A and B are shown apart, each in its own frame.
Chain A
Amino acid sequence: MFSYAWFIFLVPIIFAPVSAFAGWRRKVYGGIVASLAIAVSFILAVLVYFNISNTRVPIYQSFNWFGNIDAGIYIDHLAIIMALMVSFVSLMIHLFALYYMKDDPRQNIYFGETALFTGGMLGLILSSNLLEFFLFWELVGLCSYLLVGFWFFKPNAASAAKKAFIVTRVGDLLFIIGLAILYSLLTSINVSSPLSIPYLISNAPAIAKEIGAQNLTIIGLLFLGGAAGKSAQFPLHVWIPDAMEGPTTVSALIHAATMVTAGVYLIARVLPLYSNATYIAPDAVLFVGAFTAMFAGTLGIVMNDLKRILAYSTISQIGYMMASLGMVSVIGDSVIGFSIYHLVVHAVFKALLFMTAGAILIALMELRDVRRMGGLWKKMPVTVTLMFIGSITLAAIPPTAAYFSKDTIIDAAYMYYIRSGANIYSVLPWIFLVIGALMTSLYTFRMFYLVALGKPRSKLAEEAKDPPIIALIPLMALAFLSLTLGIVQYPFYNFIHPNTIHVSVPLIVKYTPLTMVVIGILVIAGVYGTGMWKKMDLSKNIAYRILRAKYYLDYLFTRVIAERAILPLSSGFARMERGFSRDIEATGSGAMGFGSMLRRIQNGIVEYYFVFLIIGIAVIMLILEITGGL
């Protein structure tokens, strides 16, 4: 029977072109149609949620797609939570975008693309086959590309869109190599549908036995490559800060709440493959995640662009989710709950933060430099209060939801350290994550101080005004959730994974992250509250310069790899190709020259013919003489 759950992702996809056309004459219709379609998705997801939580039986339907690959939907507890989160947050962002994009002449296209994106994201979540998953994975990538370049006439946006596409494409193709290895190995042992997700997650131990844990590790690492591209983990994170050139609602939807968490979802989806691989695969996830959490945090501190601070913060928070998944080999499957809980909480507060940033940018006419803001709490009280709620959630101050979600991950890292033999190697993740917490506090409150407190530092900031309250209602809903989601912590964990272990660590360890947050606040109060930051000249400071250059990674990718390796290779081949073509032509004209020489012989003078005839006969006679034919 055809389940209505299919419509969760089909409705937004079908209504994407409809909303683009509906808004052809009256622009506002586009947004309304798109929002309604997503509201329908959300309602359907709620219905499926009740259906599943009562029966605890996953919905699984599939049909043959091509060859021995099928496609369909597989909805278990993990998938439905993600679908609820994505449809809800997307709905909120769409409602805010009705206000944010109201003056844009191409807003119908915008809403068509965001609706398509939402449908693609929901399809990704509900996929029952990894190749189908990959299809939606690329569809959301395409939407991200289109939406980052939505203001295509801005050279920065065009360039950022290209960069986002290519960098994530590198990750995607690593992912597809992983799929190829998995497919080849499983098909050769006669598995009927080798890439089906329910098959993979329920038979992971048998698969590991059949194809070898070693191969599974390689597959896991390649999947991690794909996840790192999509979820902007080190070293493929370079595209996200540039992607901030798109409309702010796009950043909120795609580059904060939903698409960038697809990589985390991928690894969570196939986590049994990781727990049955050798320890290298999950540890790689753990270390990449934990390192990124710290690394991106350090970059967040030196950015002056409001949206880029938030972008690095997103990278860093996704690092926490990844790190949590990587602990699976030691802590067990409970880590999915930890990770997805943080994912949901993060989606809520980061969407909130981005949308408040959007409201501020509208009021400040797209001025994004935080050094020229200041004093906005007085000018835009409602917006900045919402931002304050988002900020304390980001910094994980109790009793906000992130305090519960993030500190559990940090504590779990400590448990990982204890349980895996308490050596110097296994303590690193915990250290990274704790430093990450300090960084989070530093960049969050630096940002908040520069935006909201002090005196306005530009004419624009002095004139700023709150947007109409009605536009801020979606933000208020998200702010409410940021403050209250902490209540459902353990029910949530148990919903995702029954009998989740209780993370318990010594009290001193438990309060370490919070201490870090307080230290961060004090440092910011000391540096910024006293006005010291205006007198500091960091331009000579070597550490500051490295940070400003983003650890020279962009330099490495664009200037070294792209411009010094690929482009010369390309120009060399192109030159070779031209030379090659010329040589061929030279051969051709050589042949023609020979032809025209022959033509000269045929000149119509009988004597010549006679001479040639004689010579010819003589040559034949000579040959026959030598070979003894005569």
Chain B
Amino acid sequence: MFIIAIFLLLILFAILSFAIKESSWKIATLESLLILILTMVYGILRFTGYNGGFMSSYSYAIDTSIGISFTVGVSALSMALLFLSAVIMFIAIFVSGREKFDRSFYGLMLTTELGLYGLLISRNFLFFYVFWEAIIIPVFMLISIYGGAGKEKAALKFFVYTQIGSVFLLLSILTLFSFYGTANHVFTLNMSKLLDSSFIIKYISEPQPFWTDFLLFGFFFSFLVKMPSFPLHSWLPDAYTSAPYPVSIVLAGAISLMGGYGFFAVLLPIAPVIGSGIAWAIIILGIFSLVYFALVAMFQTDMKRMMAYASAASMGFISISLGIGILSTGYIAYLAVSGGIFQILAHGLIMGLVFSSLYIIKNTSGSQSNLTLSGLFREMPIISTFFLAGIMASLGLPGLAGFIAEASIVLASYQVIGYIIFFIIFGMIITASYHVWTVQKSLNGPYNENLGKLKDGTMMEIAVLSFLFIIILILGIYPSLFYHMILVYVKGVF
């Protein structure tokens, strides 16, 4: 019940934020902080000594004839991502205090969080789909109302892309639903029942292989759009760049988790159905995304855009991890998939740190271009250090969370892809190069005096960014905090 209480509280908070006019920033910050704390308490209570399966299972039947029920269940995967969404939302809402946003901004932000929570706890495909859709609307509005230059176009692009993805998702869900109904004469939308590889093999793959391909195509398409992966990414740079910074933080940290969540919550349980051809295609797509986005990012001068591409590049690891998980067995598969799940978490936190420190830099200096920024270490030593820490985490420096994920995937990958691993490494070298290059241009070097006298971050901001950094650091040094339960979950699913 605890998790439903949090969920209901979120509904209340979202409504409250729309309603209360005064000091909406403070209230929203406190609300998101409270949600974060409650989520952490929930995680500690339910997930110490976790041994697989779903916690807090609960089901309220709405319409039994077609199997609609409000079914809730939290796996280790969902738990890790609930924690991520809570952290990211708190950070995003907190740093937005730098600008004057009105109450509906915070209402929309909390609605987004509500959608994410709903998505992550639902075990019924109807609600999964509804929340999947529900997240798009507040984000669309956040970009199109509060965004910067080119906001309408960016928002529209985001909306159209993700809508097309959603249509395919719906078609796949309906396919599963109707096949299950015809086979068992019972209609259900329960995810645990529908995502059963023996059912799919017996009733879909063997009699009608076309529909398996259709089904997988729909899932892959919608998840890859959200990820985003090459070539379905063209909404990403515009959306990230045009969105106001707090929304960019949400996009990079929380919205990007949806694709990965779909991968591991929907596709991983039906992994035996996925053929090796598709798995290889996914791996190649992941590697290509990694290298391609890294090379594109290298040529950007706008650091926000650069980090948007960097974010997409590191999502490539998630595709690689799923593919390797499908193609291998035993510990290699566990490590690859756990690495992929850990990567969603790490990537979100790291992007939160990068974009929030970049936001403070942009807000103080008025620039986010590494052509005009130079020698920021002199004027803003602390925020620059946080930005540097984010950059280092983003390029996969050991000791920080991203490394654990990337190392798991890279270590496991040789078994499956052999010397193709060199392409991953090539991508990582490019990644390291442009990350360090942009630090050299923006933080190091002589200070650009035209920027005038700048003020470093406030004490509160430093405290919040330190909190975020410490999470990243702890996850890098003692990953078992999450890694262990993820591993248990993965072993259970396979």
Q: Which residues of A contact B (CB under 8 A)?
A: 64-68, 131, 134-139, 142, 145, 149, 152-153, 155, 157-159, 161-162, 165-166, 169-170, 173-174, 176-177, 179-181, 183-185, 187-188, 566-567, 569-571, 573-574, 577, 580-581, 584-585, 588
Q: Which residue of A lies closest to B153 (CB)?
A: A585
Query: Are A138 and B399 also in contact (CB < 8 A) when A162-B437, A183-B411 are?
Result: yes
**Which of A64, A152, A155, A588 sits near B377, CB closer than 8 Å?**
A152
B447 beta carbon closer than 8 Å to chain A: yes
Additional pairs, 17, CB under 8 Å, beyond known A152-B377, A152-B444, A177-B414: A66-B404, A67-B487, A135-B403, A138-B397, A138-B399, A176-B407, A181-B414, A184-B332, A188-B415, A566-B430, A566-B433, A570-B298, A574-B296, A580-B231, A580-B234, A581-B234, A585-B157
B422 beta carbon closer than 8 Å to chain A: yes
**Docked CA distance A573–B231 (Å):** 13
Q: Which residue of B lies closest to A195 (CB)?
A: B411
A493 to nearest B CB, angstroms? Answer: 34
Please count the residue pairs between chain A and chain B whose beta carbons lie under 8 angstroms apart in the complex. 150
- Asked whether B445 lies within 8 Å of A152 as measured between CB atoms, the reply is yes
**Which of A179, A185, A570 sits near B295, CB closer than 8 Å?**
A570
Query: Are A166 and B483 also in contact (CB < 8 A) when A142-B392, A187-B332 are?
Result: no
**Docked CA distance A139–B403 (Å):** 12
Query: Are A573 and B399 also in contact (CB < 8 A) when A66-B479, A177-B422 are?
Result: no
- Asked whether B414 lies within 8 Å of A162 as measured between CB atoms, the reply is no
Q: Point out which of A66, A131, A179 has the most chain B C-beta atoms below 10 A from its C-beta.
A: A66
Q: Point out which of A157, A174, A571, A581 has the most chain B C-beta atoms below 10 A from its C-beta.
A: A581
The interface residues of chain A lying within 8 Å CB-to-CB of B399 are 135, 138-139
Would you mind naming 28 contact pairs between A and B with Cβ atoms under 8 Å apart? Answer: A64-B480, A66-B408, A66-B483, A67-B335, A67-B408, A135-B399, A135-B403, A138-B397, A145-B436, A149-B440, A161-B436, A176-B410, A177-B410, A177-B421, A180-B414, A184-B413, A187-B331, A187-B335, A187-B415, A188-B332, A566-B298, A570-B296, A573-B295, A577-B237, A580-B231, A581-B234, A581-B238, A585-B153
The interface residues of chain B lying within 8 Å CB-to-CB of A157 are 444
B307 to nearest A CB, angstroms? Answer: 15
The interface residues of chain A lying within 8 Å CB-to-CB of B440 are 149, 158-159, 161-162
The interface residues of chain B lying within 8 Å CB-to-CB of A162 are 436-437, 439-440
A192 to nearest B CB, angstroms? Answer: 10
Q: Which residue of A lies closest to B484 (CB)?
A: A66
B310 beta carbon closer than 8 Å to chain A: no
- Asked whether B429 lies within 8 Å of A169 as measured between CB atoms, the reply is yes
B468 beta carbon closer than 8 Å to chain A: no
Q: Which residue of B lies closest to A135 (CB)?
A: B398
A281 to nearest B CB, angstroms? Answer: 17
**Contact-size category for B:** 35 or more
B121 beta carbon closer than 8 Å to chain A: no
B492 beta carbon closer than 8 Å to chain A: no
Q: Which residues of B contact A (CB under 8 A)?
A: 153, 156-157, 160, 231, 234, 237-238, 292, 295-296, 298-300, 330-332, 334-335, 338, 375, 377-378, 392, 397-399, 403-404, 407-408, 410-415, 421-422, 425, 428-430, 432-433, 436-437, 439-440, 443-447, 479-480, 483-484, 487
Query: Are A68 and B445 also in contact (CB < 8 A) when A183-B414, A184-B412 are?
Result: no
Q: Point out which of B234, B296, B300, B429 has the most chain A C-beta atoms below 10 A from its C-beta.
A: B296
**Which of A65, A158, A174, A584 sits near B234, CB closer than 8 Å?**
A584
A91 to nearest B CB, angstroms? Answer: 24
**Which of A142, A184, A588 sits near B415, CB closer than 8 Å?**
A184
- Asked whether A65 lies within 8 Å of B479 as measured between CB atoms, the reply is yes
The interface residues of chain A lying within 8 Å CB-to-CB of B429 are 166, 169-170, 173
B91 to nearest A CB, angstroms? Answer: 22
The interface residues of chain A lying within 8 Å CB-to-CB of B299 are 567, 570-571, 573-574
The interface residues of chain B lying within 8 Å CB-to-CB of A68 are 331, 335
**Docked CA distance A159–B398 (Å):** 23
**Which of B292, B375, B430 sits near A153, CB closer than 8 Å?**
B375
**Docked CA distance A68–B432 (Å):** 27
Q: Which residue of B lies closest to A584 (CB)?
A: B234
**Docked CA distance A137–B398 (Å):** 9
Q: Point out which of A173, A185, A588 has the most chain B C-beta atoms below 10 A from its C-beta.
A: A173
**Docked CA distance A180–B416 (Å):** 11
The interface residues of chain A lying within 8 Å CB-to-CB of B153 are 585
The interface residues of chain A lying within 8 Å CB-to-CB of B397 are 138, 142
The interface residues of chain A lying within 8 Å CB-to-CB of B487 are 66-67
Query: Are A569 and B392 also in contact (CB < 8 A) when A153-B375, A153-B445 are?
Result: no
- Asked whether A569 lies within 8 Å of B295 as measured between CB atoms, the reply is yes
**Docked CA distance A170–B398 (Å):** 15
A1 to nearest B CB, angstroms? Answer: 20
The interface residues of chain B lying within 8 Å CB-to-CB of A153 are 375, 377-378, 444-447
Q: Which 5 pairs from chain A and chain B are nearest by CB?
A: A158-B444, A574-B299, A135-B398, A184-B415, A184-B414
- Asked whether A166 lies within 8 Å of B432 as measured between CB atoms, the reply is yes
The interface residues of chain A lying within 8 Å CB-to-CB of B292 are 573
A239 to nearest B CB, angstroms? Answer: 12
Query: Are A166 and B433 also in contact (CB < 8 A) when A66-B480, A184-B411, A184-B412 are?
Result: yes
**Docked CA distance A137–B399 (Å):** 10
- Asked whether A180 lies within 8 Å of B480 as measured between CB atoms, the reply is no
- Asked whether A155 lies within 8 Å of B446 as measured between CB atoms, the reply is yes
A46 to nearest B CB, angstroms? Answer: 28
